[in-house]
Structure formats: structure tokens, C-alpha cells
Amino acid sequence: MSTYTSIHLAARPGPGPITADLFRVESKEIPSPGPGELLVQQTHMSLDPAMIGWMQPDEESYIPPVKLGEVMRSAGIGRVVESNHPDFAVGDAVRGMMGWTEYHLSNGKGLSKLPANLDPETALAVFALPGMTATKGLYGFGDPKAGETIVVSGAAGSVGSIVGQLAKADGLRVIGVAGDQEKCDWICKDLGFDGAINYKTDDIPARLAELAPDGVDIYFENTGGPIQHHVFDRMNAHGRIVVCGMIADYTAREPSPGPNWIPLIKKRITIRGYVMPDHFHEAPALLEKLTPYVQSGKIRFRTHVLEGLESAIEGLNLFFTGDNRGKLIVKL
């Protein structure tokens, strides 16, 4: 009997780091596909900050929580090893929401074929959730204009780094916020950002005043935390704040207080929160918008690859510590 490993959510997280007791590792017999089904051997799995939210019991969120006992939710890439499905053949590379599992039995719904010339790391780091999220947020809600100033928090992350590079390619002044000097150096020297703020060591108000003397037109928020108050205070009239993530508050005992709303009226600021599941139907248009930037060399990326399915458990904590260097991917 051939078996495979899957990881299931066993308990809800509390404040603090993600621990192994929140999950149950199971060994199962590898199934055979029935009529109209296919079996995928997953090779690469994406780790994303949204997973922390999916583990919570919040039934009012944009997507139902992962139920206790279910395979932990994630997107991934794999290869079809058996198929009774007319649209998928053995050997096809596919992507979709397969979860924390080495094998995925599917009826084909939610799976799509990966272009033959696209390697798994590029697919997950650029042409999957990170690239679509960055493109939708910046162009759908940020309304960027050449000559404006944008501040991006989580700027060395998978979404923030793409947002900043798109904005830079379109003629904006780009300031990134990151949590250590190596990341600040990377976004400036390698990605072309105009400046960086190390929120752990810099005098944030002074550094913002230096880098954005004419104020901030767009704030792309990926993290939450104290930086948001300082950027909010420097927003220009008719500024736009795009809220993509708040990792600093996902497991906090008490959410951090938000800025005072009076400046929203005085400066006529627009704030828009969004999540990609609302916009999956726009994926072809978003990828069509993003692809020319990638093909012309204006988008660079790096990946932080973990080895083995069970590395995903501790890997989630890298979103809190900031020790990851690039898009987090688990190689199975």
C-alpha cells in the first residue's frame, strides 16, 4: 500500500506564534481517481499571510474559515499522475487550491494548466496570488499617477515588492517599509525603490519627512502596526489608502487602534480594503496587465523555499518574525 501525508487543522490559534499542536499530520492511502476525476502529486505549495486568517473561527470573514479536521487550505502546483478527466492528461502541470497535502484528488474544478514555459517558483511568486493581488490593489484602487509618492508597507514581501516595482515603472516615487536593513537594501538596490524605512530602527516620522517631503499620495498597507499612523499623518489631500493585509493584528489579543477619522474629511482621503477572492473572475485581465512588466524585466522577485510538507507549520511564523527572504514556498 502506497501512502501520502496531509496536514489538517486541529485547533484554532490564539495570541502568539503558530505551534505544531494546532495541526494533525495524517498518513493516508494514495487514492485512485474515479470517473471524471484526476490525481495530482503536488510539488510546490504557497505559504501566504492570509492563512493566519483562514485558521481563525471568524464566520463573517470574506471566506469561510478552514474547518477543524479539514486539510489546511493553500494554493499549489503539481503534476497529474492519473486522469479520467477529459481536460487533463497525465504529465500536465496544474495549479489550484490543493491544500497541505502531497496528493490531491480532484474533479477538475478550480484547477488550471500551467503554461509549459512557466516554472513553479515564478508561477507562485508572480503569476499567482501575489501578482494578481498587487495588480488589482494598485490599479483597481490606488489610481497611481506619474510623479506621485507611494509608501508600501511589507515592501520586501511577495505583494509589496511587486506593488513598488509596478509603481516605479509607472513613474511614481516609491518608498518601502521593511523590518531589517537587508530588506531595505534589497528593495532599493535591486528593485529600484527610491527609499526605504526600517520600522524597527529608524526614526519613522523623521525618515518619512526626509523621503516624502511633499507628502504621500498612496499608501499601500500590507502589515498594520505603528507605521500606519505615521504615514496617515503625511497623507495628501485626495490621497488613497489601499488596505491589503494587517499581519500585525492577525493574532493580537487586542487590535491596534486606528487613526482618527477627522483627517479623512479634511483631506478627502479614500480608504479601500479588498481581498482577491472577490476578484478571481478578473484574473485573465489582471495577468494581461501584469505580464508586459514581467516580460520587460521590470519585475524582479526572490523566493524563500522550505523543504518538505511539514515545514509549512513552522514556516507560517516567518510572517510574524520577518525572517523570510522572498515569497514563501514549500517544496514537496
| pLDDT < 70 stretches in the chain | 1, 251-252
> Do 123 and 77 touch, CB atoms closer than 8 A?
yes
The whole-number pLDDT of residue 251 equals 67
- Alpha-carbon distance values, 188 to 158, 164, 287 (Å): 15, 10, 25
List the domain range (segments joined by +) for residue 64: 3-125+301-331
Do 48 and 180 lie in one domain? The reply is no
SS3 120: helix
pLDDT in tens, 20-63: 999 999 999 999 999 999 999 999 999 999 999 899 998 888 88
SS3 230: helix
- Alpha-carbon distance values, 178 to 44, 210, 277 (Å): 26, 17, 26
Do 134 and 271 lie in one domain? The reply is yes
Do 116 and 244 lie in one domain? The reply is no
pLDDT in tens, 292-332: 999 999 999 999 999 999 999 999 999 988 899 999 999 99
Do 44 and 77 lie in one domain? The reply is yes
Do 179 and 313 lie in one domain? The reply is no
Do 251 and 316 lie in one domain? The reply is no
Q: How many domains does the chain have?
A: 2
The whole-number pLDDT of residue 126 equals 96
The whole-number pLDDT of residue 1 equals 62
Do 20 and 48 lie in one domain? The reply is yes
The CATH number assigned to the domain holding 173 equals 3.40.50.720
Q: Side chain identity at 209, as an amino acid letter?
A: A
Full DSSP string of 44-96: EEE--THHHHHTS--TTSSSPPPPTTSBPP-EEEEEEEEE--TT--TT-EEEE
Task: Quote the CA–CA distance of 281 and 216 in Å, as a whole number.
Answer: 31
The CATH number assigned to the domain holding 88 equals 3.90.180.10
